[in-house]
Structure 1
Amino acid sequence: MSGPDLLVLHALRCVGTAGLTRLAATTGLTEPDVESELIDLAVAGLTTRNADFAVWSLTDAGRAADVERITDELESAAARPALTTAFDGFLVLNPELLDLCTAWQLRPADGVMIANDHRDLSYDARVLDRFADFHRRAAVVCAELSAALSRFGRYHVRLTEALDRTRAGKLEELADSTSSYHAIWAELHEDLLATLGIPR
């Protein structure tokens, strides 16, 4: 099981520069716990804080340390075969997710695509139904990932929460915010590439 220091270090690797709120959401830790880990990592030379914007990022040493620690985690758990299989399932779903996000942001009108202003409730409902079906299939992949490495379990929780927030009326939570379904899916993609050592 990943310790909090690795969770925070790797979250920065996957999301890039970020503040405490986003890192807490990503890791499932409280903001004070995230900050404590970041300070310890900074003392070790692995993270740095931009005081002007109250955000943190990895140093070059931090990026190298993450690669080493994540690889050690993967190999010690003998999880590479299972994670590789689950990643194949992710790659099957990935183009569909991108198409669904486009359908949420744009809609057809008189033969052309226009920005979706979300006034056509029946159109939005159809897209959300498709998202719900996608999410059921994504849950299977997420379960395979978390069975291989428990830290991947956080993704299904976060994806479900983003979909629930969208259904509750926060329409930006599907594809247009850093906490959106799309953003979390992109983090998962980055995490899989980083964990398996696959270059972009």
Structure 2
Amino acid sequence: MSGPDLLVLHALRCVGTAGLERVAATTGLSESDVESELIDLAAAGLVTRFAEFGVWSLTETGRTADAERITAELESAGARPAVTEAFDGFLVLNPELLDLCTAWQLRSVDGVMIANDHSDSSYDARVLDRFADFHGRATVVCAQLSSALPRFGRYRIRLAEALGRAGSGELEHVADSTASYHAVWAELHEDLLVSLGIPR
């Protein structure tokens, strides 16, 4: 099972430069615990803090250490076959998710594609229904992953939270915030690539 130091290190690998709030959301740890881990990781030369922006980022040493530790975790758990199979399922779903995000951000009016200003609630509701259908299938992939490695369990929770908040009227949680369905899905994509050692 991943320790908090690896969870924090790996969160930065998957989200890039980020503040405490985003790393906490990604890992499920409290902001104070995240900050404590980041301070220790910085002392070890694995992360660096940009004080003027209040954000943290991996160093090159940190990227190397994360790759080594994530690979070791995968192999010691014997999880590579299960994660590889789940990744295949992810790749089947990925184009559909991208199409859904496009449908959310653009719509056709008289044959012309325009930005969706979300003034047509019935259109948005139809797209959200499609997201809900998609989510049912995405949950299967997330369950496969969390059974193989528990740290993947956060993705299922965060995707469900994003969809729930979008359905409650917080529309930025579809594709327009760092906590959006699209953003969490992109983090999962990056995590899978890093975990399996697949270059982009």
Mark yes or no: TM-score above 0.5. yes
Amino acid at match of 2:115: A
Q: Number of aligned residue pairs: give it.
A: 200
Partner amino acid for 1:168?
S
**Percent sequence identity over matched residues?**
80
- Give the 5 Å matches for 1:3-152: 3-152=3-152
For the aligned residues, what is the CA RMSD? 0.4
Q: Secondary structure at the match of 1:174?
A: helix
**For each residue in 1:67-93, what CA deviation from the matched residue of structure 2 results, as whole angstroms up to 9, or x when unmatched?**
110010000000000000000000000
What displacement does 1:38 show?
0.1
- Extract unaligned runs of 5+ from structure 2: none
Shift of 1:168: 1.1
Identify unmatched segments of 5+ residues in structure 1.
none
Partners in 2 of 1:149 and 1:132 — Cα distance?
A: 25
Distance 1:198 1:34 in 2: 27
Name the amino acid aligned to 2:27. T
Query: Structure 1 stretches (4+) deviating beyond 2 angstroms?
Result: none
Distance 1:55 1:186 in 2: 20
* Superposed CA offset, 1:4-60 (max 9, x none): 000000000000000000000000000000000000000000000000000000011
CA-CA distance at 1:148 after TM superposition: 0.6
Q: TM-score, normalised by structure 1?
A: 0.99
CA distance in 1 between partners of 2:163 and 2:4 (Å) = 26
Query: SS state of the match for residue 175, structure 2?
Result: coil
- Write the distance in 1 (CA, Å) between the matches of 2:170 and 2:107: 18
Residues 118-141 of structure 1 deviation map (CA, whole Å, 9 limit, x = unaligned): 111111111011000000000000
Give, as a single letter, the amino acid of the residue that structure 2 aligns with 1:86.
A
Give the partner amino acid of 1:19. G
The residue type equivalent to 2:67 in the other structure is: V
What amino acid is aligned across from residue 82 of structure 2 in structure 1?
Answer: A
